[in-house]
Amino acid sequence: MKSSRAKVSIQQWTEQGHIPPDKIQSALQAADISPSQHQWRPFLDKLLLANGGGLFLIGVVFFFAFNWQEITRFHKFAMIESLVIASLWAYSHWFNRPTANVFVLAAAVFVGVLLAFFGQTYQTGADTWQLFATWAMLITPWALLAQLGALWLLWLVLVNVSIVLYYQVFHGVFGLMFSSSQLQLAMFAFNTVALLLWEFAASRLSWLQGRHEVRLLAVASGFSVTWLMLEAISSNHQDSYGIVVCYPLWLLAGYTLYRQRIPDLFMLAGGVLTLIVISTAFLGKYFLNSHGDVFLLLAMWVLVWSSLAIRWLQKIAKEGKHE
């Protein structure tokens, strides 16, 4: 039983009187929820390494910013390339340690710094989106070999940024004829496919079973589909019918996946939030056109459905199956 589910079970048993108040701490220790003395050392080791790595990266950025004018072009390239090589050497040297993953992540960041400096120095004329796309392409082999969820998350962020910057240059995939909804549609399709592939891979690969990265993907997918639905409600264009059909299917697939197959309370809460936002926008447009001032009605709608959603989510949480 995972710690979050065990904690919910202990809370329920305490409320039902099965566990006396003076035995709660013993129950938490028996369920391996409270960390032992031996578990503190690996935790502090990872925490200090992450903080040290982050401070090191910040120090590198400030070093270049402060000494930029005094450093020659050759030394700039040499130092950045040395940082990439040193990070990869440290990763290979401490490969057997779990904390070595921070070095390959640092190397991936330094590759982006190297590409930005190369483009600024030689004025290649490339668009900004090409920098991020090239960055993602170059670190793809490392992401495949390192088996690190954080590195794959960086790769996904780079691809998303590339899509946004590409749209800013070309105003859509095929030119100026498309509106901003094409950008959200492209990001929705990409992030949704990435979310499904991540969940599929996580069922087979233990190093992808963390929930933070996949939840960020779900937030990106939910934001895009909510944006598209709000545009469809406000515009009533015929080309919006596709997303009107896609949104209920997206909700149904999310409910089936995260209620039955992979229980996740965060995902269900996100789906409920999008449903409340979109239904409020629909009612607001309908009643504002026919009855004028209906802000009190909309406020009551949000309060009622938010209360019902909270009660439903609390009921699901008490089942002890969701993260």
pLDDT of residue 218: 93
Nearest Cα neighbor of 228 from 269, 191, 256, 265 is 191
pLDDT band at 267 (very low <50, low <70, confident <90, very high): very high
pTM above 0.85, yes or no: no
Query: What span, in angstroms and rounded, lies between the C-alpha atoms of 69 and 119?
Result: 17
pLDDT of residue 3: 53
| Cβ neighbours, 10 Å, residue 61 | 12
- Each domain of the chain, given as residue ranges in start order, spans 171-323
C-alpha 308: how far from chain center:
27
pLDDT band at 261 (very low <50, low <70, confident <90, very high): confident
pLDDT at 228 over 80: yes
pLDDT tens digits, one per residue of 139-192: 999 988 888 888 899 999 999 999 888 887 776 544 444 456 788 888 999 999
Average pLDDT, integer, range 39-50: 76
Residue 178 DSSP symbol: S
pLDDT cut 70: percent of the chain above it? 79
Cα first-last separation, the chain: 11
pLDDT band at 17 (very low <50, low <70, confident <90, very high): low
pLDDT at 22 over 90: no
pLDDT of residue 190: 94
Residue 32 DSSP symbol: T
For residue 132, give Cα distances in angstroms to 75, 144, 154: 24, 18, 11
Residue 238 DSSP symbol: G
The phi, psi pair for 128, rounded to 5°, reads -65, -35
Query: What span, in angstroms and rounded, lies between the C-alpha atoms of 23 and 20?
Result: 5
pLDDT of residue 160: 93
Query: What span, in angstroms and rounded, lies between the C-alpha atoms of 316 and 264?
Result: 10
Query: What span, in angstroms and rounded, lies between the C-alpha atoms of 194 and 186?
Result: 12
Query: What span, in angstroms and rounded, lies between the C-alpha atoms of 214 and 323?
Result: 13
